[in-house]
Amino acid sequence: MGFEIVVLWSDVLVWLLVAAGVGLALTVRRSPPLLSAWRRVGANRVGMASATVLLVFIAVGLLDSMHYRVKLDGKPGQKAQYAVEVLSALDAIAAPLRTRNEKTYSEPFATRLYAKETMEIDGQTVREFPRLKFGGQHLGEREGERWADVGFTAFRGAVLGFLAWLAVAGWVTAAVHGQKRAKTESADFAWDAVLGTLLALLLIGVPLLMLAGQYHVFGTDKVGQDVLYQVLKSVRTGLIIGLVTTLVMLPMAVLLGIVAGYFRGWVDDLIQYVYTVLNSIPGVLLIAASVLMMQVIIDTHPQWFSTAAERADLRLLALCFILGMTSWTGLCRLLRGETLKLRELEYIQAAQAFGVSSGRIIVRHILPNLMHIVIISVVMDFSGLVLAEAVLSYVGIGVDPTMTSFGTMINNARMELGREPVVWWSLAAAFSAMFVLVLAANLFADAVRDAFDPRSA
């Protein structure tokens, strides 16, 4: 085998979350109330349009969560040696973007560098913009036809995307027509919103991918790396920050919130004291101190890591853990207040009178009635955590500098804005991708809130 599979801790957590999602789907199918609520989500056009966009980001993140190391060439009979660099399935698919590095900055769709250099042309020393090694090289001497070539390639990509959409739309239309004839409830699913969003994604994505094979569609950065490749690599980091942090935060918030509200007394006072003290500490300072202490531990124990990817992965998970430990208090307070109301309801009082144990009451009666709050909070907190990573990386206390994220891209673009002329495309690409991800998450969160909130039912 020409490669060695590498399993990072973050990969394990990502695929565990996928398994948990599948398990949740199976649970929903067996629970009529949950199934009814999720059907309301499925009937929401805005929610389904945003979910389609989120699925694209998730697909990119999953491809970037399958890691491996390439086998190095060696003599027959020798022990196999593998490269130090850890790659992913996304790196293999996007190999042209990863390997076609230029010398330094270049604009989107450019054929020459962004800065002039001293060159020898026909025996004379002149200041000129050097030709890119890869961007637009297929044009040869026809640089003046660049925009015509871009337009024609984009048109061909749009036609291919539209044909692919017609095939998918035809299959979906036939399936929905069959469901309507059978009068199934799933026929109310907002397929029109999904298909409309898919059409927009294909009309944008297919031409973009075709152009990416010939040009640097989002330009290049200071070291000549393709900005589109950096955007794709940042998606996984944002998803891990949003999802794994929630995985850390959720058990503590649910457990302490329900226990404080149900048992009251000194237990409630103790839990309130803990999260009140935690809230009185400035969050950024607490996160900064924790991240810096973790960095000292990582720096003093280099023997723990065989590759730089493992080192960066540990810092990413440490950041998720720290964010989770500092962001559980809001949900805990919310669940405590709701539990205080639920425990006074008649059926809870009746269960206590019949001698049902507190643990059984919490599991069978309290927790199911709080799940709509938990689901709403989890979905809405995702976008906030993605933005938090961007802010923390911007101030230098986020992910490892060797790991690409929206925050590190924005941080690196900070100095570029002071150049003359201004290098704007790195910041614009990172901001646009993060904006689409956060907006889609917020719109989907609104749909989930409307479907699960009993007051809006």
- CATH code of 451's domain: 1.10.3720.10
- Condensed to tens digits (0 to 9), the pLDDT of residues 229-265 reads 999 999 998 888 888 888 888 888 889 999 988 888 8
The answer as to whether 165 is a domain residue is: no
Query: Does residue 165 surpass a pLDDT of 90?
Result: yes
> How many folded domains does the chain comprise?
1
Query: What is the model's pTM?
Result: 0.85
Query: Does residue 11 surpass a pLDDT of 80?
Result: yes
Reduce the DSSP state of residue 133 to 3 states and report it: coil
pLDDT band at 181 (very low <50, low <70, confident <90, very high): low
Taking each helix axis from N to C terminus, what angle separates 9-30 and 227-263, rounded to the nearest 10 degrees? 60
Average pLDDT, the chain: 83
Rounded to whole angstroms, what are the CA distances from 38 to 165, 188, 322?
A: 26, 12, 32
**What stretch of H or E contains 61?**
helix 45-63
Residues 6 or more apart whose CB falls under 8 angstroms from that of 66 comprise 11, 88, 89
Over range 38-42, report the average pLDDT.
Answer: 86
- Condensed to tens digits (0 to 9), the pLDDT of residues 317-370 reads 888 888 888 888 888 888 998 888 888 888 888 888 888 888 888 888 888 788
Asked if residues 327 and 385 have their Cβ atoms less than 8 Å apart, the reply is yes
Out of 65-69, 249-253, 254-258, 281-285, least confident range: 281-285
CA proximity to 108, closest of 74, 132, 82, 80? 132
Give percent above pLDDT 70 in the chain: 95
The answer as to whether 361 is a domain residue is: yes
Give percent above pLDDT 90 in the chain: 16
Q: Report residue 447 as tokens.
A: 């749909």
Q: Taking the CB of residue 281, how many other CB atoms lie within 10 A of it?
A: 12
Domain that holds residue 318: 232-456
> What does residue 84 show for φ and ψ, rounded to 5 degrees?
-75, -35
The answer as to whether 116 is a domain residue is: no
The answer as to whether 378 is a domain residue is: yes
pLDDT band at 34 (very low <50, low <70, confident <90, very high): confident
Dihedral over Cα of 426, 428, 429, 433: its sign: positive
Q: Taking the CB of residue 213, how many other CB atoms lie within 10 A of it?
A: 13
The answer as to whether 11 is a domain residue is: no
Query: Does residue 81 surpass a pLDDT of 80?
Result: no
CA proximity to 448, closest of 377, 365, 387, 385? 377
Out of 70-84, 272-286, 350-364, 402-416, least confident range: 70-84
The radius of gyration of the chain from alpha carbons, rounded to an integer in Å, stands at: 26
Rounded to whole angstroms, what are the CA distances from 31 to 34, 37, 146, 456?
A: 5, 10, 58, 20
The answer as to whether 49 is a domain residue is: no
Looking at per-residue pLDDT, the higher value among 251 and 419 belongs to 251
The answer as to whether 381 is a domain residue is: yes
User: Looking at residue 86, what is its pLDDT?
Assistant: 85
What per-residue string of b and e applies to 145-184 under the rule 16 or more CB within 10 Å gives b?
A: ebeebbeebbeebbebbeeebeeebeebeeebeebeeeee
- Please give the Cα distance from 161 to 289 (Å, whole number): 49
pLDDT band at 455 (very low <50, low <70, confident <90, very high): low
Query: Does residue 80 surpass a pLDDT of 80?
Result: no
User: Looking at residue 56, what is its pLDDT?
Assistant: 93
User: Looking at residue 449, what is its pLDDT?
Assistant: 77
- Condensed to tens digits (0 to 9), the pLDDT of residues 363-412 reads 888 887 887 788 777 777 777 777 777 777 777 777 877 888 888 888 77
Asked if residues 153 and 207 have their Cβ atoms less than 8 Å apart, the reply is yes
Query: Does residue 25 surpass a pLDDT of 90?
Result: no
Q: Taking the CB of residue 258, how many other CB atoms lie within 10 A of it?
A: 22
Query: Does residue 124 surpass a pLDDT of 90?
Result: no
* Helix-strand-coil split of the chain, %, nearest 5: 70, 5, 25
Over range 309-324, report the average pLDDT.
Answer: 83
pLDDT band at 454 (very low <50, low <70, confident <90, very high): low
The answer as to whether 273 is a domain residue is: yes
Over range 272-288, report the average pLDDT.
Answer: 81
Beta pairing, strands 3-6 & 67-70 = antiparallel
Which residue is associated with the tokens 């993060």?
Answer: 434
